[in-house]
Amino acid sequence: MSRIYSHRFTIPADAIDVHRHVNNVEYLRWMQEVAIAHTTALGWPMARYFEKRCSWVIRSHFIEYLRPALLDDPINLLTWVSSMGERSSTRKYLFWRESDGQVLARAETAWVFIDTRAGLPRPILDEVRAAFSLVEDEAEVMALVEAG
C-alpha cells in the first residue's frame, strides 16, 4: 500500500456555496473521509480500532486555500502521515485539480490517539504505528502531482 493515499472525485453541486466555489466545510468533511479511507486501506478500519478500545480524535485543523475549486472540477486529494509521536500524529493533505495540475489547498490535521473507554490520550499501539510509513518530505508528494 502506498504511503501516500490518493482519492479522486468530481466536485458535486451540493458542495458549492453562494460564491459558486466549494464551501470550506466540504474540505473538512473530505479530509476526515480520506483519513478514514487511508487507515482502512492500511488494515485499520474503525471496527478494528474499537475492538482494541482505541481511536483517533482531532485536536486541530489547518487549511490553506490557494485557489477555488468549482463545480465538476476533477480533484485528486492526497493524504499522508508526516509525523507520529507517542500519543499523536500529524496527517497532511493536498487538494489538486487534475485538469490543469493546480494545487487548490494544503491542509493538516493534528490527531490524538485515545482510549475509547476513558476518552483520554494513550500511547499509540505498536501495531497501529507499524501500519503507517511516514512521509516527512512533501517533495515526494509534489512529484506525484507533477507526474499527473
Better-scored residue on pLDDT, 2 or 114: 114
1 has a pLDDT exceeding 80: no
Please tell me the pTM assigned to this model: 0.94
Residue 137 cell numbers, joined: 518530505
Residue type, 124: I
Mean pLDDT (the chain) is: 95
CATH number of 5-147: 3.10.129.10
Residues in Cβ contact with 138 at an 8 Å cutoff, skipping those fewer than 6 apart: 92, 94
Q: How far, in Å, CA of 18 to CA of 142, rounded?
A: 31
Residue by residue, DSSP assigns 44-87 as --HHHHHHTTEEEEEEEEEEEE-S---TT-EEEEEEEEEEE-SS
Q: What is the pLDDT of residue 2?
A: 76
Beta bridge partners of 78: 6, 94
Per-residue pLDDT of 4-59, as tens digits, reads 999 999 999 999 999 999 999 999 999 999 999 999 999 999 999 999 999 999 99
Beta bridge partners of 141: none
Residue 34 cell numbers, joined: 480520506
Each domain of the chain, given as residue ranges in start order, spans 5-147
> Residue 147 — very low, low, confident or very high, per pLDDT cuts 50/70/90?
confident
